[in-house]
Structure 1
Amino acid sequence: MKTSTFKNRIKKGMVSLVLTAVVSGVANLAQAQTVKNVVLVHGAFADGSGFKSLYTELTAKGYHVTVVQNPLTSLEDDVAAVKLALDKQDGPAVLAGHSWGGAVITEAGNHPKVAALVYIAAFQPDKGESALQWLQTAPPAPENGVLAPDDKGIVYYDKAKYHAGFCADISKEEADFMYASQGAFYAKGFVTPITNPAWRNKPTYGLIATEDKSINPDIQRAMYKRSNTKVTEVKGSHVIFMSQPKIVAGVIIKAAENASVKN
């Protein structure tokens, strides 16, 4: 073999190795894509404004946060609103839901951009189950103020019980504003069964509010135990995302970091 031919082959081989290394590096970079988006979904008897403190904690850590104003008209409508928000994300996201929002993220979490799920004192039904089924597995606390549906099928929370039953560890002024800004929750959402629970296929984290008077903490424990959810117990009312935003943010950040490593 001529020396020049041998050298050319060596050069081509080196170029091939370099190209392979570059392609491999790009692939590894894509796999290690960090999760910096968080989508927050509120529950019944509330709206997105309650997430302000949690939003502040997360954005201070460099996360891009989207707060969904779900219409509360049905499970399907709420899921559609969440999917719309997920469509607009520029990369993978952690999807977190509070209370009724847990049922919503259970269905909406199948969106391809969802890297992990976080349940904040939230419902976590399985296929064929509804939020109401789980709510009925333990007797309500005396402070619980969920009323029967009115003639339009809308469920409200008794104003006289709202502070003690829903958000006892925030100020009365905050509670009054929260009550005034809540959406109209249609009862049919409570009885609509889940069709495809995302927690069966996505990394899942849950926060249990140990002083919760709206969703019995034992209900939360039973749901999360069944699904092998990574659990953090927090001493606080149903709205721990307001009273304990640093702890809730910490769990969301952990979910994002772990998802970044696995992607």
Structure 2
Amino acid sequence: MNTKSNLFKKSSFLVTLVLIILSYAPQSSRAQNTTTKNIVLVHGAFADGSGWKAVYEILTAKGYHVSIVQNPLTSLQNDIDATNSVINQQQGQVVLVGHSWGGTVITEAGVNPKVASLVYVAAFAPDRGETTGQWVAAAPPSPDAGFTAPDQFGFIYYDRSKFHGGFAADLRESEAAWMNATQVPIVGKCFETPIQEVAWKRKPSFAIVATNDKSLHPKTQREMYKRADAKITEIKGSHVIFISQPEAVAKVIMAAANIH
């Protein structure tokens, strides 16, 4: 009788132990999922996705899955479509990051149900019915920055004589010269197209002010970000802050990835 009783007690103990272990397993899995995010990076005008390389390397080393959109820069809708195409490839939720013109793109593409949060990096954050051009015109002018008029094909370039000082002042001259030589023009009508959907009204937003930005005035960045109720981080650097200060930018992106 005692033997049976002991066996019953041991059996009960083992069952209880297994149940305890199983009860912790799904919680551990859920906790891991909350810190594992897909990151989608969206570049702006006069550039391409390769500028995100340092940020990509930092984030992937931390275990994030990072994808980079190559915007055609031929229309707002084309860039939104290119971004949604990449978002839709992701398994699970996405942190959507945009630089400069890329901020306009993520404002609308960010309504995609897979997007959990937004990060604006020295970026535009227009409201419904607004255009990027409105905010360009509203910013205090800088003698160090400038764009060309649309050419016969409708493309706008960053003024090559002002590229280093206005766009990438905190990069080495050789690096800025390479970016200048390989700059990707944007169709001017992109800046005239109004926003239809506004993701920052629905999703948590983070934003980086590049305090030495000559292309998009820091005052204008703050104005848009405050209206969007974004969590603002100020970082000393030029318009290409994500290239000159990749660690600081990656830190903000990781903060956006860990709020859920």
Q: Given the two structures, how large is their TM-score scaled by the length of structure 2?
A: 0.87
Counterpart AA for 1:196? E
Cα distance per residue 1:101-126 (max 9 Å; x no partner): 00000000011111110000000000
Cα displacement (A) at 1:144: 0.5
Unaligned runs of 5+ in 1: 1-17
8 Å contact from structure 1 (residues 72, 189) kept in 2: yes
User: Match of 2:244, as an amino acid?
Assistant: S
Counterpart Cα distance in 1 of 2:31 and 2:169: 44
Give distance in 2, aligned partners of 1:30 and 1:85: 26
Question: Could you say if the C-alpha distance between residues 64 and 203 of structure 1 is closer, same or farther in structure 2, counting changes exceeding 3 Å?
Answer: same
Give 1:148 deviation, angstroms. Answer: 1.6
Query: Which ranges of 4 or more aligned residues in structure 1 deviate by more than 6 Å?
Result: none
| Contact residue 35 and residue 91 of structure 1 kept, 8 A | no
SS in 1 for 2:35: coil
Counting aligned pairs with the same residue, the percent is 56
Q: Which residue pairs with 1:67 in the alignment? A: 68
Q: Which residue of 2 aligns with 1:189?
A: 190
- Please report the RMSD computed on the Cα atoms of aligned residues, expressed in angstroms: 2.2
Post-superposition Cα deviations, 1:38-79, rounded to whole Å, max 9, x if no partner, equal 100000011111111111111111111111101000000000
Counterpart in 1 of 2:155? 154
Rounded to whole Å, the distance in 2 between the matches of 1:81 and 1:166 is 24
Q: 8 Å contact 1:83–1:111 — kept in the other structure?
A: yes
- Report the equivalent of 2:258: 257
Tell me the TM-score normalised to structure 1 length: 0.86
The structure, 1 or 2, with the larger RCO (C-alpha pairs under 8 Å, 6+ apart) is 1
**Who is 1:116 aligned against?**
117
CA shift for structure 1 position 31:
11
Q: 1:247 to 1:87 in 2, by over 3 A?
A: same
Match of 1:36 in 2: 37
Superposed counterparts of 1:136-175, under 5 Å? 136-175=137-176
Cα distance in 1, alignment partners of residues 31 and 243 from structure 2: 35
Equivalents in 1 of 2:147, 2:132: separation in Å? 14
